[in-house]
Chains A and B, each alone.
Chain A
Amino acid sequence: MSPMQKAAWFNLIVLAGTTVLYAAAVPLLAWTFDKPWSTVAVPALGVFGLCGLWGLDLLFFRPRRDGLPITDERDQAIQLRAWRAAMGTFWVLFVLACVGSWAVMRALHVQHVTMPVDFFPGIVFAAMIVIFPVQSVVILHAYRTGGTR
Chain B
Amino acid sequence: MTPRDSSQLTNRIRRLRFDHGEMTQEELAKRAGVTRQTIHALESGKYAPSLPLALRIARVFNTAVENVFQLNGCHEGDEDVSANVGP
Contacts and interface: CB of A to CB of B under 8 A. Distances in A.
A145 B33 contact: no
B67 interface: no
Interface string B1-42: 111111000000000000000000010011001111110010
A72 B38 contact: yes
Contact of A147 (B5, B33, B41, B53): B41
Nearest to A2: B37
In terms of DSSP, what is the predominant structure of the interface of chain A? Answer: loop
A148 B5 contact: yes
B53 A73 contact: yes
B61 interface: no
Interface string A126-147: 0000000000000000010111
A44 B49 CA distance: 47
A148 B47 contact: yes
Interface residues of B, number: 24
A145 B41 CA distance: 9
Given A73-B49, A81-B1, A149-B6, A68 B41 contact: no
A78 B46 CA distance: 13
Contacts of B37: 2, 74, 143
Best-buried of B6, B29, B34, B45 by chain A (most CB within 10 Å): B34
B47 A68 contact: no
A146 B34 contact: no
A69 B40 CA distance: 15
Interface of B: 1-6, 26, 29-30, 33-38, 41, 44-50, 53
Nearest 5 interchain pairs by C-beta: A146-B46, A77-B1, A72-B34, A74-B38, A80-B1
25 contacts: A2-B37, A66-B26, A66-B30, A67-B30, A68-B26, A68-B30, A70-B35, A72-B35, A72-B38, A73-B38, A73-B49, A73-B50, A74-B34, A74-B35, A74-B41, A74-B47, A78-B1, A145-B46, A146-B6, A146-B46, A148-B1, A148-B3, A148-B5, A148-B6, A148-B46
